[in-house]
Amino acid sequence: MNMPYNLKGRNFLTLLDYNREEIDYLIKLSENLKIKKNSGIKGDLLEGKNIALIFEKTSTRTRSAFAVAARDEGAYPEFLGINDIQLGKKESVADTARVLGRMFDGIEFRGYAHQTIEELAVNAGVPVWNGLTDSYHPTQVLADLLTVKENLGYIKGVNFAYLGDGRNNMANSLMIAAAIMGMNFTIVSPDKLRPAPALQEKCHSLARESGAAIRQTDDPVTGVKNADVIYTDVWVSMGEEDKFAKRINLLKPYQVDMEMIKNTNNDHPIFLHCLPAYHNTDTENGKYIYEKYNIEEMEVTDRVFNSKYSKVFDQAENRMHTIKAVMVATLGK
């Protein structure tokens, strides 16, 4: 594959920094790396590289995906939890970045403020990759795009409906991706939970170039009509646990159930969720929330989550392949 000349050494903080050709290349590279792994071919494209994995927020998929992806191609990942380093405590973000950049070849950051990863990127001198911030989740969206392509065969022209909290990092990142890649994207949410006006304006500008349609509605019935993809996320993000009662009351009409699937008027829509999902009481947190707030299911019903429409575990696996593509493209041989 011919790689766009300017990916080597680049940071991966938000998809706003990448154009359609570059994102398309990362998806195609992910497909090739997935075939390679499934064929049992040991990689060496990151051989000898040391990768720092900084986690302010806990994770299952992001940590596992970065660790396995790095090892698959010969790199050594080092986990640095919030209690393992001095980031923002005894030592400034900038000073931490200068130190880690002299010891590691690439840095992943998963945390709260987007400003933190921007400071890391400015000062590290090595590629910095966004594993999630409060504003953006670009590695997740690459996996989402790969999953859409695998299931539908194309990306441009896909009708994509996102339901729920329309101003969180997933809604932001999916809207950006849709605007760049030419998907028709509808945010289905209450008016008070919409992306920031400046980001909306930017995405509408990008959509005019790609041919995408970016829409917003508070009506879930019309919002999902003709959707090829229905996507939702938890109603309360990390750090917002005090908002559970308000969000449940506000977002209950946007729960993805079988009636919502039926309202697509599509015989074969796919359901996506970045996970973890509150779809039953099988977890300690889920049981506590359901009992405290007298609710049986939240953003998605268990019936949809475990249905033929659900591709959430394909999506989870694809985190590994797309993250590997990002590291290979920006750091590899």
Does the annotation flag 60 for ligand binding? Answer: yes
Does the annotation flag 130 for ligand binding? Answer: no
Does the annotation flag 61 for ligand binding? Answer: yes
Does the annotation flag 269 for ligand binding? Answer: no
Does the annotation flag 275 for ligand binding? Answer: yes
SS3 of residue 273 by DSSP: strand
User: Please, what's the largest Cα pairwise distance for the chain?
Assistant: 56
Order of strands across the sheet that contains 184-188:
214-217, 184-188, 159-163, 229-232, 270-273
CA distance 141 to 120: 22
Does the annotation flag 138 for ligand binding? Answer: yes
For residue 43, give Cα distances in angstroms to 1, 81, 154: 16, 27, 28
| CA 274-131-161 angle, 5° bins | 30
| CA 254-257-259 angle, 5° bins | 100
CA distance 63 to 66: 5
Does the annotation flag 189 for ligand binding? Answer: no
SS3 of residue 266 by DSSP: coil
Token pair of 88 as six digits: 């923002």
Does the annotation flag 140 for ligand binding? Answer: yes
Does the annotation flag 110 for ligand binding? Answer: yes
Does the annotation flag 62 for ligand binding? Answer: yes
> CA dihedral defined by 15, 175, 272, 57, rounded to 10 degrees?
60
Query: Is the bond preceding residue 276 a cis peptide, omega within 30 degrees?
Result: yes
- Catalytic residue ranges: 110, 137, 140, 233, 274, 319
Does the annotation flag 4 for ligand binding? Answer: no
Does the annotation flag 137 for ligand binding? Answer: yes
Does the annotation flag 59 for ligand binding? Answer: yes
Q: Which residues contact 288 (CB under 8 A, 6 or more apart)?
A: none
Does the annotation flag 147 for ligand binding? Answer: no
Q: How does DSSP assign 176-241, residue by residue?
A: HHHHHHT-EEEEES-TTS---HHHHHHHHHHHHHHT--EEEES-HHHHTTT-SEEEE--SS-TT-G
Binding-site residues from annotation for L-ornithine: 169, 233, 237-238
Binding-site residues from annotation: 59-62, 86, 110, 137-140, 169, 233, 237-238, 274-275, 319
Binding-site residues from annotation for carbamoyl phosphate: 59-62, 86, 110, 137-140, 274-275, 319
